[in-house]
Amino acid sequence: MEKLMLLLGSIALLSACASGDKKPMETPKDQLVARLFSHVEKGEILYGHQDDLSYGHAWKVEDWTADSLTRSDVKAVTGKYPAIVGFDLGGIEMGDKANLDSVDFGLMRKAVLTHAERGGIVTFSWHPRNPLTGGDAWDVSSDQVVKSILEGGELHDLFMDEWLRNLGDFLESLEGTPVIFRPWHENVGSWFWWGGKLCTEQQYKELYRTTWTYLVKARGLTNLLWCYSPNSNISVDEYMSRYPGDEFVDMLGLDHYEYVGEEGLAEAGVRFAEELKRSLTYMNQLAKDHRKIMCLSETGLESLPDPDWWCGVLYPAIKDFPIAYVLTWRNAHDKPEHFYAPWPGFENTPDFSAFSQLSDIVFLKP
């Protein structure tokens, strides 16, 4: 009887395969894509904050092995964690113990797993060092760097066998936690060694695809959701000029900040919002055409001098666009002016609290 059942089961399976009914296994990446799409369908935008659990304004986690990582500037002000927490992998390529902002990679791994366990979502940026000069990601003294690490270049073996291997080891250690990975960001401007004037479009695409192929094909990682995130204030043609292709990208991002120049706060806010809406408008069309999710991968106003920035500037600019998330940059523990989210004691917190209570903005309840 048991054998007969087994046989019937096998026949059912075979015929399902033959008729094409058998669905491929859903990967952690697929699950995250579906989760993000479901927020977008409901008109919800997840709120994210860079490095939220590792440090904040004037504090940092000291003994991460003993710390349960419950401290967060965002939670201290709103009562809720950010739904998305961003981390930066800069330094992992060299096998460093801590990243470029002194976050121990052991702490980072623990924070990723802790945040995911609480129901949050994780995103990674990467500011790798300059492999040719030994400088940092902002060292743009040579336009030969990307060429040197691609196939045929003198640093190709170093890039494949050390840099990407170290990166792959860390990403693999996350136990399959799905994460949004957005390498080689802000690629049209020329402030990183992989930027617009530092390599050709072809070289940039090859760099992105080489990274994808190594992590996805050679390492078999199924937990990475790939986000392509150029800088702002560029045309749609510039945005797409370095697009590596639909196969390599799951999400369209944008890094767009407000800068207050001579024109003053009010005008800066208007300009920020107008430029943001212009970019999100063409990204919305691209997202539809290419069937991708979109997000505001980095934004913020350093030191938050505008008391109505969250509800008065940011929210009206993004609320009508189907972005899955918006992430504001880090609250440095060692640079008092370098923060992008309020912290306890900062005077402009009511606006942020009001933002956290909007029905279409999603935070994570502790």
- How far is residue 139's CA from residue 352's CA, in Å, rounded to a whole number? 35
The interface with ligand BMA within residues 195-214 (CB under 6 A) comprises: none
Binding mask 46-85 for ligand BMA (x = CB under 6 A): ----------------------------------------
Q: Does residue 186 interact with ligand BMA by CB under 6 A?
A: no
Q: Does residue 255 interact with ligand BMA by CB under 6 A?
A: no
Tell me how far CA of residue 257 lies from CA of 296, 303, 307, 326, in angstroms: 10, 12, 16, 12
Q: Return the number of the residue (325 or 329) whose C-beta is nearest ligand BMA.
A: 329
Task: Please list, in sequence order, all residues whose beta carbon lies within 8 angstroms of the beta carbon of residue 49, skipping any fewer than 6 positions away.
Answer: 72, 73, 74, 82, 84, 85, 86, 327, 328, 330, 331, 340, 341
Q: Return the number of the residue (205 or 330) whose C-beta is nearest ligand BMA.
A: 330
The answer to whether the CB of 262 falls within 8 A of the CB of 270 is no
Q: Return the number of the residue (182 or 330) whose C-beta is nearest ligand BMA.
A: 330
Q: Return the number of the residue (51 or 306) whose C-beta is nearest ligand BMA.
A: 51
Q: Contacting ligand BMA (CB under 6 A), which of 73, 88, 258, 306?
A: 88
# binding residues, ligand BMA (CB under 6 A): 6
Q: Does residue 127 interact with ligand BMA by CB under 6 A?
A: yes
CB of 135 to ligand BMA, least distance (A): 14
CB of 324 to ligand BMA, least distance (A): 22
Report which of 263, 299, 254, 146 is spatially closest to residue 210, judged by C-alpha positions. 146
- How far is residue 243's CA from residue 80's CA, in Å, rounded to a whole number? 36
Q: Count Cβ atoms below 10 Å from residue 363 Cβ, excluding itself.
A: 23
CB of 127 to ligand BMA, least distance (A): 5
Q: Does residue 258 interact with ligand BMA by CB under 6 A?
A: no
Tell me how far CA of residue 94 lies from CA of 26, 251, 357, in angstroms: 33, 27, 42
CB of 125 to ligand BMA, least distance (A): 7
Residue-by-residue DSSP string for 288-350 = HHHT-EEEEEEEEETT---TTIIIIIIHHHHTTS-EEEEEE----SS-TT--SS--TT-TTHH
Q: Which run of H or E residues covers position 198?
A: none
The answer to whether the CB of 318 falls within 8 A of the CB of 43 is no
Binding mask 294-333 for ligand BMA (x = CB under 6 A): -----------------------------------xx---
Q: Return the number of the residue (52 or 101) whose C-beta is nearest ligand BMA.
A: 101
Q: Return the number of the residue (109 or 127) whose C-beta is nearest ligand BMA.
A: 127
The interface with ligand BMA within residues 326-345 (CB under 6 A) comprises: 329-330
Q: Return the number of the residue (136 or 308) whose C-beta is nearest ligand BMA.
A: 136
CB of 182 to ligand BMA, least distance (A): 13
Tokens (6 digits) for 58? 């004037």
Residue 142's region, left for phi above 0, alpha for psi from -120 to 50, else beta, is beta
CB of 366 to ligand BMA, least distance (A): 25
Q: Does residue 101 interact with ligand BMA by CB under 6 A?
A: yes
CB of 176 to ligand BMA, least distance (A): 25
| Closest CB to ligand BMA: residue number | 88
- How far is residue 77's CA from residue 296's CA, in Å, rounded to a whole number? 22
| Contacting positions for ligand BMA (CB under 6 A) | 88, 100-101, 127, 329-330
